[in-house]
Amino acid sequence: MMQGDSRSLTVTILNEDKTVVTADDVSDVEFIFGHLRKTYKEGQVAFDPVSGKWAIPFSQQETFSFQAPGYVNAQVRVKFADGTLEGTSLGKINMDKSMSKEVL
């Protein structure tokens, strides 16, 4: 990803039995990318039942706020409908530096 990008990242969340975690399975899902937090409950992320993926949108202003060049640590925490909560690392997202700092 580059500073100034405005797009969604998609993530498939799987249960221990390798089935897809859907919106019906959860009461909330929290994604953390560096200093940025987005949740399903607050309407900041969405689940697409056709693809089975969670979409996390980023604005130009949000991606400009990441240090670059470098890596952004990413995590997800899932609060299931039964109240259990599980989290895991999504690894690191490579952030390229943009030569332009203009929001288009």
* pLDDT tens sequence across 13-55: 999 999 999 999 999 999 999 999 999 999 999 999 999 999 9
pTM of this structure: 0.94
The tens digit of pLDDT for each residue in 49-96 reads 999 999 999 999 999 999 999 999 999 999 999 999 999 999 999 999
What pLDDT, on the 0 to 100 scale, is given for residue 67? 95
Q: What is the pLDDT of residue 51?
A: 97
Answer whether 68's CB lies under 8 Å from 95's CB: yes
